[in-house]
Amino acid sequence: MTTAPSPAPAPSRRDRPSPAARRSGPPALGALFLLVTATLAATVLVRPGRPVLQPLDDTWLRWMGGPHDGAYAVVATVLDWFGGPLGVVVPVGLLVFLAVRKRWPSLFCLLTAYLVGNVLVVQALKYGVDRPRPADPLVRVDHGSFPSGHTAGTALLVVIAIALLVPAGRRRGWWAAGAVLTLAMMWSRTWLHAHWLSDTLAGATTGAGMALLVWWAFTPLLNREELTRDGRSPQTA
């Protein structure tokens, strides 16, 4: 009488593929986003007085006319605070969280993305392109309309936060929510007459593009961090 073969033993935790292998951001998409930013910047630099997209920007700005009160004003004001100095509380809070958890590669990934993407690159574009803002903005603004720093910071934070904090298999809904938040920020900046529509598009592509490239560059370190958290030695992975 033959006995049924015993089932194969389940792979041990040591032999399972690490989820870290799925952490890398797509560098080609990041480069494509930055190419869009560069193209939009070129359209302004080539014709500073009347960029190619100015008719679209003018039409959108007319649609964003008054009255500027009620619930729309509340939402736009909250988003203005979120993208302004008070918004620094969010990335600082994430840095503290990662430090407490001793996730040093993730911490340096977030810090690099924020400083390089949201500060260095955005400010370089603002001063390099030097595009005037729409007339009579409804909130305090700084120098340069291109790109939107609020939108760039939102898109960058969305990508990096999801990459570092959300497991790969659960990201789809978070990507959708992040896209909605970024679009809301784009709307708020134009509704407040702080930016042209094309400025906010450039902000979104700049922030997301820089975040994806930094995420990709940090992937080896993030993999090692994930293996360590999973109880596996990087040398045996």
Q: Judging by beta carbons within 10 Å of its beta carbon (0-12, 13-18, 19+), is residue 5 exposed, middle or buried? A: exposed
In this model, does residue 50 exceed pLDDT 60? yes
DSSP 28: H
* The model's pTM: 0.85
| pLDDT per residue as tens digits for the range 91-105 | 999 999 999 999 999
Distance CA 27, CA 134 (A): 34
Instruction: Compute φ and ψ for 33, nearest 5 degrees.
Output: -60, -45
In total, the chain counts a number of residues equal to: 237
For 193, left (φ over 0), alpha (ψ -120 to 50), or beta?
left
| pLDDT per residue as tens digits for the range 2-12 | 555 555 555 44
Q: Which carries the bigger pLDDT value, residue 17 or residue 143?
A: 143
In 3-state terms the chain splits into helix, strand, coil percentages (rounded to 5) of 70, 0, 30
| pLDDT per residue as tens digits for the range 119-158 | 899 999 999 999 999 998 999 888 899 999 999 999 999 9
Distance CA 103, CA 165 (A): 11
| pLDDT per residue as tens digits for the range 162-182 | 999 998 889 999 999 999 999
Distance CA 76, CA 153 (A): 16
Distance CA 114, CA 121 (A): 10
Provide the CB-side half-sphere exposure for 209 (13 A, CA).
17
Which pLDDT does position 20 carry in this prediction?
Answer: 39
In this model, does residue 14 exceed pLDDT 50? no
For the record, the structure tokens of 84 come out as: 């302004």
Which pLDDT does position 191 carry in this prediction?
Answer: 96
